[in-house]
Every structure is written in structure tokens, then in C-alpha cells.
Chain A
Amino acid sequence: MQITHDTVRDVARLARLAVSEAEAHALAPQLSAIISYAEQLQSVDLTEVPPTSHPLALMNVFRADEPRPSLPREVALAQAPDSDGGQVRVPAVLEG
């Protein structure tokens, strides 16, 4: 699978990474090499094999619906780069 530099740019956009033209050209062959290496999995017949999402066969792990203390607000917001009146502030989310 050849990953073109256009694909690199599309994927970067999806991942919210800014990639320059030069970086996209450098990344395309690197990502292609990794994906090509992974393609050896295509040669194995896996039709009847169930996937392993969890190494442990655990099921039904729950907590009870009981309140636990929340963080004090000043602690919750202490690491925020920008906040205002107890809320986190970001550039306008454009609804358009």
C-alpha cells in the first residue's frame, strides 16, 4: 500500500496535526514502509479467528452508583491554559 502525500495530509487533518508540504513528502514513504510491512498479515488466513481486544477475559466490571468527591474547581482548572469565570476558554467554535 503506497501512502501518497495527499493521504498523509488527509490523515493529518483528521488527527488535527499540521503537516507542512515537506513533512508530508518525508512522511509518505515512512508510513508506506510501515503499512507495507504490516501487509504480511494479509497472507494469513484469519477468516475464522476471533479478534482479541482484551488480553484478559474479564467481563462486567462495574462501580456502584455512589458519589465520590469531585475536584475543587480551582484544582480542576489549574492546568487550563485559559479560563474565564470558572469555565475553560477556547477560540470560538464556529457553528458554520
Chain B
Amino acid sequence: MPKLSNKERMKIQRQAMPEQESAVRRNNFSEVNLGFTEELARMEAERCIQCPKPTCIEGCPVGVKIKDFIALVAEGEYLKAADKIKEDNMLPAICGRVCPQEEQCEAKCVVGKKGESVAIGRLERFVADFERQTVGIREATLKPKSGKKVAIVGSGPAGLGCAGDLIQMGHDVTVFEALHDLGGVLIYGIPEFRLPKDIVKAEVESLKKLGVDFQTNAVIGLTDTVDELMSDGYDAVFIAVGAGLPYFLNIKGENYNGVYSANEFLTRVNLMKAYKFPDYDTPVFHVKGKNVAVFGGGNTAMDAVRTAKRLGAKNAYIIYRRSDAEMPARKEEVHHAKDEGIEFLFLANPLEFLGDSDGWLTSVRLQKMELGEPDTSGRRKPIPIQGSEYILDIDMAVIAIGNGSNPIIQKTTPDLQYTKWGNIVVDENTMRTPKKGVFAGGDIVTGGATVILAMGAGRKAAAAINEFLNSSN
């Protein structure tokens, strides 16, 4: 392609992401987004005006050299582009899919100030997929062995990010996972149609090839405590257990049959493959032809409601107490959900679940809300409208209003510092806890956040652990 002027670049339309037709995809679990072709990727890369002082990088929690990798894409140097991304992001195929780019890098894109921003996330995904599909994820070079051992607790994005860096720095790394499969929320939480499990498996496999040891069925705190890991010869421990204790609404009737946490519903379907029951032994509520309500407005709520639709729900509702504008879910996910026929009930607050004499959920009593002044989160606060209560018939409810912190580490490691919500207190630059050799990061520190922030925390911890190990010779 001849060299374009910035004016010409700005004229190119943002390339749309090819996706499965909504009428087709709402009946299957295959990935919704199909990914850019080479042509689309290069055209999109040409839209980047290669700012002398790029601001996109400021929007990236891990500082990916966006301008540089996009220039390589424009030149057709996709593998070099992959290398460039991986200098800062260990999991590009995953982050290219699940990062909220519209609030991060793309929100800061200069092109986006006048028109639509460069589709950075789609390009990142393209580059990572190109590498994996053509030559496979290439092995990084390892530094000579340091003779030090690190235990990582949890195989989610924080744990994987930390493991990838530490193994390259020459340390022995063992990752302990409570479940029987690896990837944490990437495997049990995010559905196949948004993040294919083969991609997570490929990332885990590439870490195994580098020598990372993974131990499943190990609940740290119970199977081994943090102190036992230290006395077993680990020189440092990184705690990355995630949030993982679902909040409920704490309203009447929440223990009726048919009321699930999003974690349980998604785990049954994703990890345990309940959608293939009885070929797989784990059952889940028979959604087909039924009315399902998901409470919450985040990405997990979208994942749950779209899963319910795919399982054949007649009506699948999102019930959210604020309005469209306050929903924390990614715009793309909301857009996909609407295309798939999800109904959104905004400004509706659940007061009580109602059930039949056998204990099965039959309906929910809702109250209409209106928006008042902004609250501490900066979002307008929902206020109940008196006398606006109504009943909605539903057969299944999924509560997706976030997670508290899991108590197992806290109960068994009392000498760490915890907030009143049970989050582990760390130095935010080094991820160090006050306990020598113990670091923590990801959702157990921040509360429920994003994949990229967790991975970034894992990598920050890896750098600090490396420094700690080298200085403790």
C-alpha cells in the first residue's frame, strides 16, 4: 500500500468485526466475533496516524507499545507485531477479546477524537490469533536457572501473568489451582462464545512448555497453607485467588430452587459442560422455553443472560436498578446481547422472590426506580418510586451483582493484612504484603476488576518477586 497522508488515514472507516449472525449464534456456543482477516487488519492498521506522542499507551494498564505493534501490522509483519505486544502483555489473545478497550487504549486514541478510534483490541486479537494459528505460540527464551522456587496460588489471569514472567526470569514456578482445570475465571466464568476455551488452554500449554508446573485440586489454605508452602522450600508465594465469593441480593425467597449465583450458573455450564447433559454428568436448570431473569449490569450479567438465551430461554431479561448509561458492562457485550434478543428492564429493583409450595421460584416482585443525584461511585443513585411495585413471572433467576473475597486464605493466614471486606492489603507498586516473601494481586486485592488489571498485577508482582529473590541471595 502506498504511504498515506494522515488526512487519507482519517478517511478510512473503522473496520467492523465480522461476527456470527445473531439469529444463528443465539442457538450455539461458538465464538460470536470471528476476528479480522489479514485484509481487514491491514486496513485498520492504516488508520493509525502514528502519533509522535501516542496517548493510547497511557490508557493501557500494562503499557503495550500500541503504536509500534500497529505499524508492524500495517507492514504485514504480524509475528513481529506479536513479539512487540508480548513485551508487555503475556495474554494478548485473551486480552484482545475481553479487555474493555473502549474505556482504556481506544478511549485515548487521537483518531478517536475526531471520528472513531483505531480498533486496537481487534488488532491485538488478530496478531495473537495469527501467531497461534500459523506457527503456534512461540516459546520465550529463559534466563539461566536461579535455583529459587515460587508458589503461585490461583491459575487465573493474575497467576498466569506472574508465572509467565517468573519462569522467563529463571525461577522455578509452581501454580496451585483449587479446581480441576486451569485458567480460573477464564475457564469457569467467561463463556465459550466470548472466549473459546482452546485459547486459554493454548496459553496454559505454552507456559507448561516453558517449565511452569501446574497442580490442580490444591486449595491453598486447606490442602497446604501459605506457611507450609514457605517451609516446603518455596522462596516466595504470590496469592492470586481472585474474588470468588458471590454476593446475593439478601432479599426474601433467595433460596428457592431456580435461584443461582452467576458463578454457579456459569460454572455449571462452562466448566462442567452442563449444556451437554446427560453426556456430561452435571445438570443445570432446564432453561428451554422458560423465563430467566439476570440481576446486574456488568459483563458477568451479560455472560449469564446470553448463556441462558443459548440454552433456549423463551424470555431472557436483564434486570438492573439504574439505567442503560450506568451499566458497567462493555458496550460491545450489551450490543451483542440486544441483537440476540435479550430484554433489558432498567430502573427495576428486586424486592422479593416468590415460589410455589414445592420450593420452586415462580416470580419476582419488582419496584420501579428513578435516578437521583450521583452517589459515591459517580453514578446517579436509583431511588424507589412509591407504589410502583409489580410482579414478573420468572422460572429462573441469576444473581450477578459481584463477588466478595473468599475467606479460606484469610482464615488460614491470619498474619496478612486484610481490609474489612477481606481483601488483602499490599504495597501497590510491589504487590508485597507485610509478610516476608508473600505477595498478592488481582481481584483478591482490588475486588472484582478486569482480566487485564489482574494480569498486570501479576506481572508487577513478578518483577517485585524477582527483585526480592535476587536480593535475598
Chain B associates with chain A: no
Contacts from A to B (Cβ < 8 Å): none
